[in-house]
Amino acid sequence: MSEMNTTMATPQGKMRFRQELADFWHFLRQPDLRRLPGRRASSGLASDWWSGIPFGRLLAWAAVLWLLNFIALGPLAVLAANSGGAAHRMDPTAIPWLTAILWAPLIEEMLFRYGLRRPRQALWVCPAMLPPLLWGVQGWTVAWVVAVILLASLPLRRGHIKRSGWQMDWRRYYRWRFGWVYHLSALIFAAVHLNNFRLADVPYWMLPLLVLPQWSAGLVVGWMRVRRGIGAAMLLHGIFNSGPILIIMLVLNRAG
């Protein structure tokens, strides 16, 4: 365990929220593949899909993102959209909330973040998740996603993955370049959400401003995936998406 993890851990091997914030800030500058203190270092299914993170901690991270977007990034995105003539494709009063809270976090985390810890599996998992992303919730896409997750889980069923010499060399190279992969995944995640807009004649330089909220979310959820596992990343993604939907529902109910 690194010196940073040892000094930041509590006697119970857990971290306070302010310590996690400090770890995230350090991670942004120097991304690495360490887990948080108190987590097993195995590659098992339980370690990756269930971290035991309290709901309150996930809610705290979601609150950080909501606050950041409400105060800074959200207004910048709205200003860019209004200035460039971009319009949102989806009617905010008709957002399919189950899709936003359950389906989107599952599909997008498997596509953009699962491979951060499983780079070799990402070579086939990422292409395999494109059909559910493009065709949405249907009977066959649900079955497809279940099959992909089961196939991806097979090598982890015994809690470890055996690696040959060349695989270990490749993994060391991946660790060396991991920072580029992490930041690139957040940028691609944000760029995909440009499809949510009718861009009209928006200048190219203004496009990144439209998806600043998604970019920030991608950075935080990517950190969560590496430090606590894919299950925690999906839960945080779903909670983050639920905030705006809840606000829209409250406004509509009051207006009605």
More reliable by pLDDT, 228 or 43? 228
Confidence (pLDDT) at 199:
86
Min mean pLDDT across 4-13, 83-92, 157-166, 236-245 is at: 4-13
Confidence (pLDDT) at 6:
39
Min mean pLDDT across 132-136, 163-167, 207-211 is at: 163-167
**How many CB atoms lie under 10 A from the CB of residue 139?**
7
Q: Please provide the average confidence, as pLDDT, over all residues in the chain.
A: 86
Q: What's CA 209's distance to the chain center, in Å? A: 19
Q: With 50 as the cut, is the pLDDT of residue 105 above it?
A: yes
Q: With 50 as the cut, is the pLDDT of residue 12 above it?
A: no
Fill in the amino acid letter for 9: A
- For the chain, the maximum distance between any two Cα atoms, rounded to a whole number of angstroms, is 65
Over the stretch 217-245, which tens digit does the pLDDT of each residue have? Answer: 999 999 999 999 999 999 999 999 999 88
Confidence (pLDDT) at 9:
47
Confidence (pLDDT) at 7:
38
Over the stretch 157-205, which tens digit does the pLDDT of each residue have? Answer: 655 555 555 566 788 899 999 999 999 999 999 999 999 888 878 888 9
Confidence (pLDDT) at 3:
40
Q: Contact at 8 Å (CB) between 215 and 184?
A: no
List of residues 6+ apart from 122 with CB closer than 8 A: 114, 115, 116
Q: With 50 as the cut, is the pLDDT of residue 254 above it?
A: yes
Inter-CA distances, 33 with 14, 97, 145, 244, 256, Å: 18, 33, 26, 31, 49
Confidence (pLDDT) at 255:
63
